[in-house]
Amino acid sequence: MYKRVLLKLSGEAFSGEGGKGFSEEMLTYLVKEIKKIHNLNIKLGIVIGAGNIFRGKELKDFRIQMADQLGMLGTVMNSLYLKNVFEKNGIKSIVVSPIVNLPSVIPLKYDFIEQYFEAGYIVLFGGGTSNPLFTTDTAAALRAIEMSADILVKATKVDGIYDKDPKLFEDAKKYDNITYEQAIKEQIKVMDTEAFSICEKNNLSISIINFFKEGNLLKAVEGENIGTKVSH
Ligand SMILES: Nc1ncnc2c1ncn2[C@@H]1O[C@H](COP(=O)(O)OP(=O)(O)O)[C@@H](O)[C@H]1O
Ligand SMILES: O=c1ccn([C@@H]2O[C@H](COP(=O)(O)OP(=O)(O)O)[C@@H](O)[C@H]2O)c(=O)[nH]1
């Protein structure tokens, strides 16, 4: 079982696939899935996207730098939202972010992260990488390395990495294992090339799983390869 896990959650984990906003049903499901791994006494960091609010690319009339800043703020909003949901369910968490100064957001300081873990908090990393032109996949890779995670779990809406987009091609074939090199060469869209590259350089394995299948998150943390594992 992995002991230090960075979980990348799409904003769609809050809204349901393809949706916007916050769904009560989805949040109940999210809490149930998180409780299964939180009880295992692992050090858990979470990077949340903002696809349920803004994705920079979706704001067509905006300059991308502007749109991406809205996206990054969205990730902080989601982090605070999740902190509140966790609180109501007896789960201790803390929001850290380099981009905003708010009373319930703690500035990102590497030296303190371990103390939050030791005190039993889930650390919610908001604000992405703090730079436009990136996505939260890259932020997840960065934070995973910074917290010395054993694994980066990308919980998304497909069962893993396929030889082509499974949402578009019925005959797409899933890889159980793939190297970073192959993922980059084949320009696999499920995660940014930057994220693959950061993980490759730092020898951090990635587990791509379908978040919307009950029990998948627990299995991934227990080390079962239920989706696709990206490694050397
Ligand atoms: N080769 C591929 N294997 C798996 N998924 C792919 C592939 N190419 C494109 N995709 C698409 O990538 C999507 C997941 O990426 P993305 O939408 O960025 O996830 P998230 O919002 O969870 O960060 C899937 O819905 C899938 O349709
Ligand atoms: O380092 C970052 C991370 C995120 N974003 C912006 O925030 C949005 C939300 O993140 P993402 O698309 O990764 O969300 P997800 O698809 O995972 O819900 C992105 O589209 C970007 O516009 C950004 O500019 N820099």
Which ligand number lies closest to the CA of residue 132? 2
pLDDT category of residue 48 using cuts at 50, 70 and 90: very high
Query: What is the domain class of 4-231 according to CATH?
Result: alpha beta
Q: How far is the CA of 208 from the centre of ligand 1 (A)?
A: 10
pLDDT category of residue 24 using cuts at 50, 70 and 90: very high
| Amino acid identity at 95 | V
pLDDT at 39: 84
* Residue 15 marked as a ligand binder: no
Tell me: the pLDDT tens digits for 91-104? 999 999 999 999 99
ipTM for the assembly = 0.97
Tell me: the pLDDT tens digits for 149-191? 999 999 999 999 999 999 999 999 999 999 999 999 999 999 9
Which atom of ligand 1 approaches the CA of 12 most closely? Answer: 21
Across the chain, mean pLDDT equals 97
Mutate to test the pocket of ligand 1, among 158, 162, 170 (most ligand atoms within 8 A of CB): 158
CA distance 47 to 59: 22
Q: Is the pLDDT of residue 15 over 90?
A: yes
Nearest to 46 by CA among 93, 88, 3: 93
Q: How far is the CA of 15 from the centre of ligand 2 (A)?
A: 16
Q: Is the pLDDT of residue 112 over 90?
A: yes
pLDDT at 153: 98
* Residue 131 marked as a ligand binder: yes
pLDDT at 176: 98
Q: How far is the CA of 3 from the centre of ligand 2 (A)?
A: 27
CA distance 127 to 73: 6
Pocket of ligand 2 (CB under 6 A): 10-12, 49-51, 55-56, 67-68, 71-72, 74-75, 128-129, 131-132, 134-139
Ranges of each domain in the chain: 4-231
CA distance 220 to 204: 15
Q: Write phi, then psi, for 70 (nearest 5 degrees).
A: -65, -40
Share of the chain above pLDDT 90, in %: 98
